[in-house]
Amino acid sequence: MLAIDALLAPLGYDFFRNAALAGVTIGVLCPVVGSYLVVQRMTLLGNVISHAILPGLVLAKFFGIDLLAGAFLAGFSSTGLMSWIQTQPRIRPDAAMALTLSTFFALGVVLASVLDSRLDLEALLFGDLLGVTPRDTLETGIVAVFVAIAIALHYKELLFYTFDPIGAKAAGLPTRRLHLGLVALVTLTIVASLKTVGVLLAVSMLVGPASAAYLLVKELHQMMALSAAFGAIANLVGLFASFYLDLPSGAAIAIVTFLMFAIAFVGVSLRERL
């Protein structure tokens, strides 16, 4: 009874219910999109975008426009620059990613200083899940629904492109548009995580649950479903830990996410040795 009471007690607070709903939404959204990155070995792309949105946030705050719009434009622009750099055959993809990440993040820091931005960088970078409002939850839900519909409508094309990009191009699929569409979904997902787990820790949600599921199943749709379950559980467990142990919510969720991956990794390793 005491355990049940302890579990239900936080749900009596409006802010905790908002946080739980937003957290579960992000916990499902990030791993579903992240599954494509893990399979394609493009997980660093999420890291690049998460840093690259900073100048967009600063400029949006300065001009008084929606922060999410500024973040999306900056994140999408960073991938455009990265793709352009990669057209040079002597530049490796990892070098292009590192250069783009550092340049956009540095630009954001400079703009924040020059424009005397009052942007709460700590909250945006590391999240404040316990401080989300019903409007934040609604915006996150809208993004999640949009991303889910986009994936459902183009699942077969994305599946083909993910596992065999050369074959997809030879079959006549618009691989360039599929790539840009996937980048847009990743950017939207990270932007949706702004006020919950934060843009930096959103990378953990993109990669961690999807990587754990990748170890356990073989089919992409199974991986997406299992990683979504892992993400939702990690958010709830991290949220309760944050509430009772007075920990930063985003950091708590990221640690729980890694522990879930570690359990899956150790379990698979032990099974292969038997």
Per-residue pLDDT at 88 = 78
> Are 160 and 168 in contact, with CB atoms under 8 Å apart?
yes
Q: Residue 1 has what pLDDT?
A: 56
* Band of pLDDT at residue 19, cut at 50, 70 and 90: confident
Number of CB atoms found within 10 A of residue 101's CB: 20
How far apart are alpha carbons 30 and 136 in whole angstroms? 16
- By the 8 A CB rule, do 150 and 33 touch? no
Helices (H), the chain: 2-8, 14-40, 43-52, 54-63, 67-85, 93-114, 121-126, 134-153, 155-163, 165-170, 175-192, 199-216, 220-245, 249-273
Q: Considering the entire predicted model, what is its pTM?
A: 0.86
Residue 228 Cα distances to 9, 17, 66, 87, 168, angstroms = 26, 19, 28, 34, 27
Q: Which CATH superfamily is domain 14-267 in?
A: ABC transporter involved in vitamin B12 uptake, BtuC (1.10.3470.10)
Q: Does residue 81 carry a pLDDT above 90?
A: no
- Separation of CA 231 from chain center: 11
> What's the pLDDT score for residue 213?
95
Task: Say what the pLDDT of residue 203 is.
Answer: 86
Return the structure tokens found at 96: 């292009």
**How much is the pLDDT for 6?**
66
Q: At what angle do helices 14-40 and 199-216 cross, to 10 degrees?
A: 60
Question: What is the tens place of the pLDDT at every residue in 188-199?
Answer: 898 888 767 777
Mean pLDDT across the chain: 86
Long-range CB contacts (within 8 A, 24+) of 175-181: 178/154, 181/150, 181/154
Q: 72-81 burial string, b = 16+ CB within 10 Å, else e?
A: bbbbbbbbeb
Is it the case that residue 142 has pLDDT exceeding 60? Answer: yes
> 245, 244, 248: which is closest to 126 by C-alpha?
248
90-99 average pLDDT score: 84
Q: Which two tokens stand for residue 230?
A: 């892992």
Per-residue pLDDT at 214: 95
